[in-house]
Amino acid sequence: MRFQSVCVLGLGYIGLPTASTLAKSGIKVFGVDVDQKVLDNLKEGQIHIHEPGLHELAREALDSRSLTLSNRPEEADAFVIAVPTPVTEDNKADLSHVLEAAEAIVPHLRKGNLVMLESTCPPRTTLDQVAPILERSGLAAGPDFFLAYTPERVLPGHILQELVENARVIGGIDAASAEAGRDLYRAFVDGEILLTDATTAETVKLLENTYRDINIAAANEFSQLAERLGVDVWEAIRLANRHPRVEILQPGPGVGGHCIGVDPWFLVEATPDLTPLIQQARAVNDGQPAHSADLIEQALGGLSGKRIAALGLSYKPNVGDLRGSPAIEIVARLVEGGAEVHTFEPYAQAASVGGAAAERSLKDTLEGADAAVLLVNHRDFVELDPRQAAQAMTGRVAVDLRGAWEAEPWRAAGFDIYTLGVGKPDA
């Protein structure tokens, strides 16, 4: 099955790279977003997502008119829904964007069209919620139009590469829908394309990120255990991982990003009585920012009036993605505790936290600080020379929440260094 035109609904971290990549493959793409600011910025050549190579790819697609922009769908051979699915305050899936996107497609749906849902959703969303909305068109899902689900599985900082190279799971409401989805994605995916049913495909994405969340929670719990026992968790993990069947992940100040901290709740929502382990893992990881803030407070002997250089605000190293970042929560807690916090995020320099001062350089951030706190292990922060930090700072406290700073050089520069997961033997 060949597709000459595709309408992509949602131009965020997945939608815009997908639309641009489809356009590069020779397909006419209509990019749709309800945020007029996003559309205006794209038309002016401003990409609202920091992702290597995306600016050039999107600009090429827009300049060639193979990608055009609108705030409402257009008729097309296929529709791809790539809108956000956040969680509510009570940790339930907010499907409002998905359902609104499906409703927007209805007037444009024609016999033989394909609708692909990419947004992460609880199991059975495709069958029980999206299909009935689309069938308001008078067409039947399956006999009249194809409907399938495919989870995105890309890593920020490598999205364009992984969109093409990663294996893709496509689940249809019937076999013909899965095959139609395969034909669309084969236009740009070099990786293996695996076909299944829609509900299995929805569950696959949730299992992947829940598995990671549980394993991160184990590492974070180990880090607190090590602090209590007077052990260096980083050394203990390194030695434990020499076992041929053990691969413990690294602890940190919490879990961020749009997926790992959100997706497990969709399984909890679907089966709350069967998910005590998942719920406990979420509690451990959600509690890690507060534990990290406590560690900083203990290192300084209190927060009130202390000037803190907070290094990094993104949720992972060497990208500017701020979604769900534990670093932002930690800074907010430090401010609430009375500290004077100066932040620096080199990959998103406009990023700020209420009550904290956003600086434009590492030097300005360190200037006059009582403590330097490594929140995100960006390359430049990991390679920071303690002697240069000492020249700029007033105090001599360093707090490493990523296990990335070698303690001895910091001590040699006169610092007291505190590392997440490293307890004192006499504690």
Helices 198-229 and 263-270 pack at an angle, to 10 degrees, of 110
Q: Which residues contact 421 (CB under 8 A, 6 or more apart)?
A: 222, 223, 224, 226, 227, 232, 233, 234, 251, 403
**In angstroms, rounded to a whole number, what is the distance separating the alpha carbons of residues 304 and 341?**
11
**Which segments of 312-406 are extended strands (E)?**
340-344, 357-358, 371-374, 397-400
Q: Which residue intervals of 142-197 are DSSP H helices?
A: 159-165, 175-185
Q: Which residues contact 364 (CB under 8 A, 6 or more apart)?
A: 342, 344
Backbone CA torsion sign across 101, 207, 313, 283: positive
Question: Which residue among 24, 28, 205, 306 is the active-site one?
Answer: 205
* DSSP per-residue string spanning 153-165: ---TTSHHHHHHH
Beta strands 340-344 and 357-358 are: parallel
Question: Which residue among 259, 306, 316, 363 is the active-site one?
Answer: 259
Q: Count of CB atoms within 10 A of residue 79's CB?
A: 29
Q: Which residues contact 133 (CB under 8 A, 6 or more apart)?
A: 99, 102, 103, 106
Is residue 7 part of the annotated active site? The answer reads no
* DSSP per-residue string spanning 54-84: HHHHHHHHHHTTSEEEESS----SEEEE---
Find the Cα–Cα–Cα–Cα dihedral 151, 68, 146, 102, rounded to 10°: 70
Rg (CA), the chain: 24
Report the helix count and the strand count for the chain, using DSSP H and E.
17, 14
**In angstroms, rounded to a whole number, what is the distance separating the alpha carbons of residues 336 and 177?**
52
CB 183 within 8 A of CB 1: yes
Is residue 259 part of the annotated active site? The answer reads yes
- CA max distance for the chain: 74
> Tokens 């394993």 correspond to what residue?
215
- Active centre residues (catalytic): 205, 259
